[in-house]
């Protein structure tokens, strides 16, 4: 079923829209949450919470990119769940490493900084991604948005681990330089 038909069902408050959403996007959302949480039950809970959040947001929202809309909700829920479950114990989990890799190039949006600045940072990141070649952009999104392991990124892009690491390192440096040029410091 296409996204417009699913959105029509959700706008009509027809619960079949949720089932069609789960059928079309459930596995992708589950995999993305698993990449962050490494816990099937927590990842499944994120998928369910994503569907609930989508149900509550639609209407009035009618996302033009429904899959990306769902992925963003799921990713944010998974990161929040990961943060709360790891608040007392900091360690070397894959997600800690993943977020640590971005720490040097993306400014923090915690504390005093407003949602407005977060949107500006997001736009600057998107602008930078638009300047990258396709493989760099895909690698960056797979690794840092979807939380895929380095092995998974390598397999999906058909490249060696050293090449992928180098590509991501150069991309983070470009991202940092771009964000600094736009007035955002780390």
Q: Which residues of 70-79 are buried (b: 16+ CB within 10 A; e: fewer)?
A: bbebbbebbb
Confidence of residue 179 (pLDDT cuts 50, 70, 90): confident
Query: Which of the four pLDDT bands, split at 50, 70 and 90, describes residue 142?
Result: confident
- Give the number of other CB atoms < 10 A from CB of residue 136: 17
Residue 111 pLDDT greater than 80, yes or no? no
Q: For residues 114 and 181, is the Cβ–Cβ distance under 8 A?
A: no
pLDDT digit string, tens, across residues 93-107 = 566 666 666 666 665
Check pLDDT > 60 for residue 161: yes
pLDDT of residue 178: 86
Q: pLDDT at residue 112 above 50?
A: no
Residue in 111, 109, 75 with CA at minimum distance from that of residue 95: 75
User: Which tens digits make up the pLDDT trace of 23-66?
Assistant: 999 999 999 899 888 889 999 999 999 999 999 999 888 888 89
Over range 180-184, report the average pLDDT.
Answer: 80
* Angle between the N-to-C axes of helices 134-144 and 150-157, in degrees from 0 to 180, rounded to the nearest 10: 150
Look over the chain and give the mean of its residue pLDDT values, rounded to a whole number. 83
Instruction: Report which of residues 89 and 61 the model is more confident about.
Output: 61
Q: Is 158 left (phi over 0), alpha (psi -120 to 50) or beta?
A: left
* CA proximity to 95, closest of 37, 172, 156: 37
Domains of the chain: 3-85 (1.10.1740), 94-181 (1.10.10.10)
Q: What is the mean pLDDT of residues 11-24?
A: 94
Beta carbons of 71 and 3 less than 8 angstroms apart: no
Please report which confidence band the pLDDT of residue 115 belongs to, taking 50, 70 and 90 as the band edges.
low
Q: Which residue has the tokens 């397999």?
A: 155
Q: Are 3 and 66 in contact (CB under 8 A)?
A: yes
């Amino acid at each position: 079923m296409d996204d417009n038909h699913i959105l029509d069902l959700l706008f009509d408050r027809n619960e079949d829209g949720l089932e069609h959403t789960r059928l079309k996007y459930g596995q992708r959302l589950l995999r993305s949450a698993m990449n962050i949480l490494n816990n099937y039950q927590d990842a499944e809970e994120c998928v369910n919470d994503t569907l609930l959040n989508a149900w509550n947001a639609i209407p009035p929202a009618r996302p033009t990119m429904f899959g990306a809309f769902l992925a963003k909700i799921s990713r944010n829920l998974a990161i929040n769940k990961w943060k709360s479950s790891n608040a007392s114990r900091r360690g070397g989990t894959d997600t800690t490493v993943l977020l640590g890799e971005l720490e040097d190039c993306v400014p923090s949006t915690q504390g005093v900084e407003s949602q407005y600045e977060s949107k500006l940072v997001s736009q600057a990141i998107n602008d930078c991604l638009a300047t990258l070649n396709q493989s760099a952009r895909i690698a960056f999104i797979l690794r840092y948005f979807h939380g895929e392991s380095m092995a998974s990124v390598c397999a999906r892009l058909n490249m060696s681990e050293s090449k992928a690491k180098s590509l991501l390192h150069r991309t983070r440096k470009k991202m940092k330089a771009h964000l600094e040029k736009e007035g955002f410091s780390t």
